[in-house]
Amino acid sequence: MAQLLQIHEPGETPLPHEGDRGAAIGIDLGTTNSLAALSLDQKPEALRDVHGRALVPSVVAYSPDGPVVGADARRMLLDQPELVVSSVKRLMGRGAADIKALAGALPYEVAPSADGGMVRIRVGGRVLSPVEISADILRAVRARAEDALGQSVDRAVITVPAYFDDAARTATRDAARLAGLEVLRLVNEPTAAALAYGLDKHSEGLYAIYDLGGGTFDFSLLRLEKGVFQVLATGGDAALGGDDFDHAVAARLLAERAAQIAGATVDTSRVKLALATARLAKECLSSQDEWIGMLDLDDRPSRHHLARAEVETMIAPLVARTIEICRQVLEDAAVAPQDVQGVVLVGGSTRVPLVRRQVAAFFGREPLSDIDPDEVVALGAALQAEALTRGSDTLLLDVTPLSLGIETMGGLVEKLIDRNTPIPVAKAQEFTTYQDGQTAMLIHVVQGEREMVDQCRSLGRFELHGIPPMVAGAARIRVSFAVDADGLLTVSAAEKTTGTAARVEIRPSYGLSEDEMATMLADSIANAKADMERRLLVEARVEATRTAKAVQAALAADGELLDAAERAGLERAIAAVEQAAAGGDRAAIVAAAEALELESKPFAERRMDRGIRTALAGKRVDAVLPTGE
Amino acid sequence: MTEAATPTTNAPATAAPLRCWSCGGPVASGAVFCATCRAVQPPGDADHFARLGLPRAFALDAAELDRRYFAAQRQLHPDRFATRSPRERAISQSQAVSLNDAYETLKAPLARACYLLKLEGVARTPDQDHTIDDPALLMDQMERREALGEAADGAAVQRIVAAADADARDALAAIARAFARDDLAAAARETTRLRYLEKLIEDARLARARVAPRQAAG
Ligand SMILES: [Zn+2]
């Protein structure tokens, strides 16, 4: 059919309804801040609130009314530290023993867990896993994205530190699931940053990404060539970041305080405040040479003075560790520092002047940071979300950050997949029994570079049952490791000589069981209802505002088709819509929009008639009849 | 029924013509997409050289290897199938796994030499056989290991690495010459030598980290 009339006003575009699917966004779930971005036509943009803020501080306060996330939660840290959790990313897939104490006190109140698995935090009278707390952050990021887009969001690419182990990756995926998000892909943060950077600058050649976040350090070396982003090698430390700078400064503040005030006590809440003060001091010292402040605890403030040079001395060993990792990664890839064409700085902690100086000294060139280091990862994730849902000419080829293997006799590790192997990858190896008549085998899966099991990270224990009784060494047990494009590991095992189907039981060392996930999902249904109601409100608001704008535009174009009373009626209906849209009552918004639609119907019909007459005027009949095509 | 573990290698090739899993139409051997319905096909059991369309030889153009690998991943990587059916996603993943396996094997000269020896039917390839039956090589390795164990500083380790690097380059050239004249016994012998030299260089790197644990920040 030939189209006779353009229904929409010029310049007014209809809402993008791509099928029934919501938007697919990129999310940087950071230790300090989180944010979302959306890419259209390879132009990614951070999604901001009405105040223009993209960053959601990764801080959650568990008030009696429910979780509060972001800047408001961070403010509550000052007077109600016992309700507030921050830097929870450091605990993803981690055990209680992984938490660093400060002046003898932990910055989290750890709840004892029965199985010694992933740590549980006691906060605001609740006991929560890091997965649940991260899910609350993701819900807030998702809400900000939906508000910015006026559209529901149900799919996301989520970034993780390249050096995250399997347990931490799985925990991140579980958190997204709890927040009602379908994870299109987990993408490594430095790789996402390279994508944003390379596409923006049309770079080719060898690029290094130095990513120092709040809790993790990643360094990746990539080759960029004609739209292919090939990670050559990656390295890092999943427990080294700007938080450690804060820890160093806070330790100094607490020591000074102990010297100034007799009987000053330290507990979890006071440590949280000391860390918050240390962070402010660090940020201040990024631009100034000295900081003077106080630690106001228990109405007994202690006074402190710090020079930038002093803080640099404190954090120098931490920065030196990152440079040593850079050296090792380049060596893994057999690349010399001078062969690297550009070094991109990512993460808020790269604002620290000492970090910039050391990176520049190692590579012999000034690092690049012309894309906001806080936003570049989310922008890359958004590009990847677009590529996965709408297609793209670019391709990310990533690698495993850590070697994967299983425990063999004597506590040694047999590696099945080496670090820096391109993913997806699958490898299999045969093992055998060591006792006559052995019918079960314990397969202990570990991740890490060391040769002894106790120096690697335990990922899980798998029990293979149903091995037919044979003499020792006769059974052929094939253990298969598969790492998918998200970097997630699946292990399976089978006895080959008899073809007997074998059962594999999985007990993740630092994960959540399916039962725990089921309980958490049930708990999140209440949240999901609130989310749904909020989303419907946003959508109603957008729809009503769009109708009002369309009628306004039509009034401006064809207002003379109406008499004064009709015009005044329409203007009243528009004002009613605008007033309702400013409020939070979805039913009122829908009613006002429907009233406006009804009121404007005669006007629309008159415009339609005029449009047809205009379109037909001066045209030959065969030019306006349907052609049948 | 209990679910069996999925093997990572494919069943041996059969003479029967291949059928598309999706539409049942004929699929040419080695084709990655069905000509009829365009559905992605399982990777099959082509050798690494054939998979990347390269001649079966030790001599290899690294730029050409990259070019072919990138072109194949552009078509087959799971990122290209993110919105497709679970079956297609799984097949694309196994295709990408096969491509990565081929690429990793062919890219590294040592892995390429071992793989080629296996393809040529050499029974004991250097990557599987952990015994040294060449007395000269055994003596040489023991001396180097001893020197590495006694190295007291980074400079001493560096001298051992430099010597091993030079010998590794020499072994590589010898492997290339041996394959070029179809002397598989010499190729296997030099590949074993290269394997031990590479292991030594890797261990020396760890040793260097041990003798110089942290460089002072500049
Ligand atoms: Zn077909």
Domains of chain B: 18-107 (1.10.287.110), 135-217 (1.20.1280.20)
Q: Can you give the pLDDT at residue A400?
A: 92
Q: Measured on CA atoms in the order A532, A538, A539, A544, is the torsion positive or negative? A: positive
Burial environment of residue A609 by CB neighbours within 10 A (0 to 12, 13 to 18, 19 or more): exposed
CA–CA separation, A257 and A259 (whole Å) = 5
CATH of domain A242-316: 3.90.640.10
Q: Can you give the pLDDT at residue B217?
A: 35
The residue type at B9: T
CA–CA separation, A417 and A482 (whole Å) = 9
Question: Would you tell me which residues 301-340 of chain A have a C-beta closer than 8 angstroms to some C-beta of chain B?
Answer: 316-317, 319-321, 323-324, 327-328, 331
Nearest CA in chain A to B82: A388
CA–CA separation, A271 and A284 (whole Å) = 20
Hey, are the CB atoms on A478 and B70 less than 8 Å from each other? no
The residue type at B157: V
In DSSP notation, B26-38 reads EE-TT-SB-TTT-
Is the CB of residue A424 less than 8 Å away from at least one CB of chain B?
yes
Hey, are the CB atoms on A320 and B215 less than 8 Å from each other? yes
Residue in the block written with tokens 């009314």: A65
ipTM for the predicted complex comes to: 0.86
CA–CA separation, B5 and A467 (whole Å) = 13
CA–CA separation, A25 and A138 (whole Å) = 12
Q: Measured on CA atoms in the order A148, A149, A153, A155, is the torsion positive or negative? A: negative
Is the CB of residue B124 less than 8 Å away from at least one CB of chain A?
no
Omega before residue A367 within 30° of 0, cis: no
Contact yes or no for B6/A480 (Cβ under 8 A): yes
User: Considering only CB atoms, which chain B residues are within 8 Å of A395?
Assistant: 70, 73-74, 77, 79
Is the CB of residue B74 less than 8 Å away from at least one CB of chain A?
yes
Q: Can you give the pLDDT at residue A387?
A: 93
- Give catalytic status of residue A189 as yes or no: yes
| A interface test, pick of B9, B79, B88 with most A CB neighbours within 10 Å | B79
Q: How confident is the model at residue A505 (pLDDT cuts 50, 70, 90)?
A: low
Is the CB of residue B109 less than 8 Å away from at least one CB of chain A?
no
Give the closest of B80, B101, B214 to A324, CB-based.
B214
Q: Which of A555, A476, A569, A76 is nearest to A276 (CA)?
A: A76
Contact yes or no for A441/A477 (Cβ under 8 A): yes
Is the CB of residue A184 less than 8 Å away from at least one CB of chain B?
yes
What is the three-class DSSP state of B153?
coil
Q: Which of A476, A481, A480, A479 is nearest to A495 (CA)?
A: A476
Q: How confident is the model at residue A513 (pLDDT cuts 50, 70, 90)?
A: confident
- What is the location of CATH 2.60.34.10 in chain A? 404-513
Q: Is the pLDDT of residue A197 over 70?
A: yes
- Give catalytic status of residue A89 as yes or no: yes
Using alpha carbons only, give the angle B188, B192, B193 rounded to the nearest 5 degrees.
120
Neighbours of ion ligand 1 (CB under 5 A): B 20, 22-23, 25, 34, 36-37, 39
Ligand 1 centre distance from Cα of residue B98 (Å): 21
What predicted TM-score, i.e. pTM, was given to this entire model?
A: 0.82
Q: How confident is the model at residue B118 (pLDDT cuts 50, 70, 90)?
A: very high
Task: Find the mean pLDDT for residues A455-478.
Answer: 84
Hey, are the CB atoms on B96 and A502 less than 8 Å from each other? no
**CATH superfamily entry for domain A404-513:** Substrate Binding Domain Of DNAk; Chain A, domain 1 (2.60.34.10)
CA–CA separation, A24 and A154 (whole Å) = 7
Task: Find the mean pLDDT for residues A372-380.
Answer: 95
Fold of A526-616: Substrate Binding Domain Of Dnak; Chain:A; Domain 2 (1.20.1270)
Contact yes or no for A48/A148 (Cβ under 8 A): yes
Q: Is the pLDDT of residue A338 over 80?
A: yes
How many other CB atoms are found less than 10 A from the CB of residue A127?
14
Q: Which of A426, A432, A458 is nearest to A445 (CA)?
A: A458
Contact yes or no for A240/A216 (Cβ under 8 A): yes
Q: Is the pLDDT of residue A577 over 80?
A: yes
At a CB cut-off of 8 Å and minimum separation 6, what does A172 contact?
A29, A92, A134, A158, A160, A164, A186
CA–CA separation, A214 and B93 (whole Å) = 33
- What is the location of CATH 3.90.640.10 in chain A? 242-316
Å from A120 to nearest chain B CA? 33
Contact yes or no for A271/A285 (Cβ under 8 A): no
Q: How confident is the model at residue A543 (pLDDT cuts 50, 70, 90)?
A: confident
pLDDT tens-digit series, residues A146-179 = 989 988 899 999 999 998 888 899 999 999 999 9
CA–CA separation, B36 and A54 (whole Å) = 48
Ligand 1 centre distance from Cα of residue A466 (Å): 39
Report the range of poorest mean pLDDT among A127-131, A515-519, A529-533. A529-533
Q: Which of A404, A379, A384, A381 is nearest to A394 (CA)?
A: A384
**CATH superfamily entry for domain A18-241+317-397:** ATPase, nucleotide binding domain (3.30.420.40)
Ligand 1 centre distance from Cα of residue B45 (Å): 19
Give the closest of B74, B82, B217 to A358, CB-based.
B217
The residue type at A261: I
Residue in the block written with tokens 């990557």: B127
Q: Which of B3, B5, B96 is nearest to A431 (CA)?
A: B5
- What is the location of CATH 3.30.420.40 in chain A? 18-241+317-397
Give residue A483's Cα distance to chain centre. Answer: 20
Kindly give the interhelix angle for A71-79 and A268-287, rounded to the nearest 10 degrees: 120
Q: How confident is the model at residue A134 (pLDDT cuts 50, 70, 90)?
A: very high
In chain B, what is the straight-line distance between the N-terminal and C-terminal CA atoms, in Å? 63
What is chain A's length?
Answer: 629
Q: For chain B, count helices (H), then strands (E).
A: 7, 2
Using alpha carbons only, give the angle A417, B212, B144 rounded to the nearest 5 degrees.
70
Q: Is the pLDDT of residue A485 over 50?
A: yes
- What is the location of CATH 1.20.1270.10 in chain A? 526-616
Tokens coding B21: 């899993």
